[in-house]
Chains A and B, each alone.
Chain A
Amino acid sequence: MTVIAAVPTSGPGAGEQFEQLYRSSAADVYAYVASLLRDRSAAEDVTALAFERAFRRRALFDVRRGTPRSWLFAIARNAALDELRRRRRTVALLHEVADDSSELEELDPDLAERRLLVRDGLAALEARDREVILLKFVGRLSNAELARVLRCSESNAGTRLHRAIERLREVCGVTQ
């Protein structure tokens, strides 16, 4: 197993580099987890748990199996799915993130309307499609990294992503 320099297990730079990964990914991981769980409180717990697990398991990280970011999102995904299994959350996220609507009021009406439309469309998607879009758009993973997180082939990940985008456009009524 090759441990990459980006997530060293020991040495003076180990803590700093892990913190760098955290700084660049924390908000995205939280956004992804919260969108999956549709529960802010659970998302906070799962995000903290994901970083805790990542820190503990960084010795197991293998550079040949993906980047640190995809590895982190895979951990976060597993933690989120475990939470879903445990709690069987089905409450719509939009009800809990309604506080963000205040931001929309400050935007251009057309842009605000579009964002609201997309948010509703995303919530209306199947969980699998929503997850792919979140991993790509929020996690900014490459298709190879996406395949690694979803445990499928790269071409399959690309196909799933493209279909999910098409469905999002469809439910949002957006034409290409």
Chain B
Amino acid sequence: MSRNELNAAAREELAALDRILAREPVGERHLELAALVDSVRAGTPRMDPAFAERLDAQVAARGGGRRRAMLRFDRPAARRVALASGGLVAAAVAFTIVISSGALNGSKQAPHSARALGAPLTRTPAATPTANAHTLSPSVRTSGPVAATGAAGSSFAGLSPTLRGAARLVHRDSTLTLATSPASMQGVANQIVAATERSGGVVQSSNVAIRGSASRASFSLSVPSGRLGRLIATVSALASVRALHQNTNDITDGYNQEQARLADNAAKRAALLKQLAAAATVAQQTAIQRQLSRLEARIAAEHREIDRLLTQGHTATLQVTIVPAGSVKHAAAAGPFTTAFNRALKALEAILAIALVAFAIVLPFALSALALWWGATTVRQRARERAMRTA
């Protein structure tokens, strides 16, 4: 039997005690207990009438005096206001963190920030084609695909022999995945071609297959680097963006090496030409001319490589893939209800993200406060029990 368990007689006596306190009749064997209860109750101190009156007045003021009671109840209200203010501050902090960390600029929000998406992901001021264009030297020939890109060709006019310091030659390529309904896929494809031509670019290859839910279209576009961002923004607005990847590759070092080799070979050629003029015998002239031929072949190859690098640096490529939309439909093709629904979903996502961050911020503080409160309560209660023992 546990030390807390009572025997039957004790339980019966406690039950009788409850009946006595409830002023119910008990058996003769519990009359002694009833007398004990009566004696204890009679022996306890009674309130002084003056104090009883003061206490009555105080409680009456609480119950009847609405104004005073209301003043008292302002305290919990003030606490609620303080809590709400704290929550608002936490939410504001969370919102700031979410905004600054770019949590709201995920891929799904891409259609709403198409202009921002057009910007390169790892852009440096020196990597902009405009910066390069101002340092290009007129001594370099323009040829090949550069001329075909129209506006890009004009940027070759200012190329310098070597690119130093801040001037960099950067190749940019991007891949963009769009989603739209099969019915509107052909229209979107046509608009992509038109947008590319407006940007001064060319469609290097395209493939459009309309087969219901298996429809698919892909494009390989080539545009002047300076217009890639605008083209991505334009194309992104045509359908829902599923994915966007942007890569940059700095080819300045390779270009500078080719330029250095070209300069060396040009100097060698000039020296050989001098030797040829001074050659005394036919055999010497023949040997020098053979060396000149080989050297000029190398110089021509270096010119071609330099042209290729320049074209690569000033012409960006954009791979566009269009897939059939599932649950996400193109905003322009969807009805107003669907559009509103999608916007509401996005707003809910943002709110959820903010709520999660706010929760993550508030939770440690709340747990700490709870632990402190629990500890303080426990310590206080133990002190009270100690006071009881020592009383």
Contacts and interface: CB of A to CB of B under 8 A. Distances in A.
B44 A127 contact: no
A9 B391 CA distance: 35
A93 interface: yes
A36 interface: yes
A82 B280 CA distance: 123
A31 to B, nearest CB: 4
Contacts of B14: 143, 158, 161-162
Interface string A15-38: 110110010001100111011100
B6 A18 contact: no
Contacts, number: 156
Given A15-B64, A27-B47, A176 B59 contact: no
Interface in A36-81: 36, 40, 43-44, 47-48, 51-52, 55-56, 59, 78, 81
Given A44-B51, A89-B391, A155-B4, A34 B42 contact: no
B48 interface: yes
A114 B35 contact: yes
Range of interface residues on B (Cβ < 8 Å) = 35 or more
A156 B58 CA distance: 37
Contacts of B73: 9-10
Contact of A40 (B6, B48, B62): B48
Interface residues of A, number: 70
A4 interface: no
Contacts of B28: none
B48 A84 contact: no
Given A44-B48, A97-B45, A158-B6, A133 B40 contact: yes
Given A15-B63, A30-B45, A114 B39 contact: yes
A84 B72 CA distance: 27
B62 A55 contact: yes
Contacts of A88: 387, 390
29 contacts: A15-B62, A19-B60, A27-B46, A30-B51, A35-B45, A36-B391, A44-B48, A48-B54, A48-B58, A52-B58, A55-B62, A81-B388, A88-B387, A127-B391, A128-B388, A134-B44, A137-B40, A140-B22, A143-B18, A151-B381, A153-B4, A155-B4, A155-B6, A158-B14, A159-B4, A161-B14, A161-B17, A168-B40, A176-B33
